[in-house]
């Protein structure tokens, strides 16, 4: 069965800490992996990863894909209270003639001042 698993489920840190969020997947015909930040209702796009070993970076956030290990990590350095959110990982794969997305259950991050 195709699945996406994120860990940890929740995390509480203090401002300035660095966090690493994990996403592992089991799908056939993998296409890409995406990270989203969900603060209220609508997830906002962070990164799309398709190639192994190439880090994508945006400010204090970075992410990398390891196709051999079927996983990805999202790093947030120097965390701020505004980073508090649910971070969702989604995997895109090809099946039955179309692309489908599977979302993980997310990691709930809380950053304390």
Q: Which residues bind other proteins (CB under 8 A)?
A: 32, 34, 36, 40-45, 48, 88, 90, 92, 100-101, 103-106
Tell me the C-alpha distance between 58 and 38, whole Å: 17
Taking the complex as a whole, the smallest distance from the CB of residue 101 to other proteins amounts, in Å, to: 7
Q: Tokens for 6?
A: 């994120």
Q: Give the shortest CB-56-to-other proteins separation in angstroms.
A: 10
Q: Which tokens in the block code for residue 31?
A: 């296409």
Cβ closest to other proteins, residue 32 vs residue 75: 32
In which residue are the tokens 């990590």 written?
73
> Which one, 76 or 91, has the nearer CB to other proteins?
91
Question: Among 3, 13, 10, 7, which Cα is nearest to 73's?
Answer: 7
**Is 28 or 98 the residue whose CB approaches other proteins more closely?**
98
């Amino acid at each position: 069965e195709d699945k996406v698993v994120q860990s940890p489920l929740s995390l509480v840190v203090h401002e300035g800490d660095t966090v690493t969020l994990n996403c592992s997947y089991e799908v056939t015909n993998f296409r890409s992996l995406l990270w989203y930040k969900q603060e209220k209702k609508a997830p906002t796009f962070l990164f799309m990863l398709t190639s192994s070993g190439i880090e994508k970076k945006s400010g204090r956030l970075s992410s990398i894909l390891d196709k051999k290990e079927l996983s990805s990590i999202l790093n947030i350095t120097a965390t701020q209270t505004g980073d508090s959110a649910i971070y969702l990982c989604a995997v895109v794969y090809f099946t039955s003639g179309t692309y489908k997305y599977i979302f993980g259950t997310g990691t709930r991050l809380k950053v304390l001042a």
